[in-house]
Chains A and B, each alone.
Chain A
Amino acid sequence: DTEVTQTPKHLVMGMTNKKSLKCEQHMGHRAMYWYKQKAKKPPELMFVYSYEKLSINESVPSRFSPECPNSSLLNLHLHALQPEDSALYLCASSPSQGFYGYTFGSGTRLTVV
């Protein structure tokens, strides 16, 4: 299995909703990432987990809450989002040592209404 799987593919949520994005990989990668990509912009790093521990938080607002329950799973919990948070959310993984095989998932297209 050489894929990073993200669910759901599309999500529409209200500003008072609580939802979660899910990311899964079975490549034995020990580093996992959340990126946010606005239209016609490059991906921007949000969080990095290395060996299931949060190693980088790029000053992301607390309405985004990451979670890494095990080495294969990465979640992003969403609460009280704003319309400007609408974007493509990309998950990626890589081997923690060395940098070969940085793989992106197909993303979740999030719309906040």
Chain B
Amino acid sequence: EDKVVQSPLSLVVHEGDTVTLNCSYEVTNFRSLLWYKQEKKAPTFLFMLTSSGIEKKSGRLSSILDKKELFSILNITATQTGDSAVYLCAVEGIQGAQKLVFGQGTRLTINP
């Protein structure tokens, strides 16, 4: 059975700190790994990673995938209170149709 595990489940830091969120996976016929940010309702897309070792970057956020070790990390530098959210990692495997398997999420709280 496909599985995605995120760590830590919860993280509290001070504004300005740098955080690293982890995502490991086991999935049949891996196609892509995605990171989402969820505040109150809909998850919003952050990154999609398909190739190993290539860093994706958007402002203070960056992510990288290691397909050999089956994990990804999401880094946030100079954190702000607006970064407080649940960060979801999801992996797509090819199973006849597109299907995402989500991890449990990391609840990140940034204190001023």
Contact = CB atoms under 8 A, between A and B. Distances in A.
B100 A50 contact: no
B97 A56 contact: yes
Nearest to A108: B41
B42 A107 contact: yes
Nearest to A107: B41
Interface string A40-68: 11111100101000011000000000000
B42 A55 contact: no
B48 interface: yes
Interface stretch (B12-20, B64-72, B77-85, B102-110): B102-110
Nearest to A104: B42
Contacts of B105: 42
A43 to B, nearest CB: 5
B99 A103 contact: no
Interface of B: 31-32, 34, 36, 41-45, 48, 88, 92, 95-105, 107
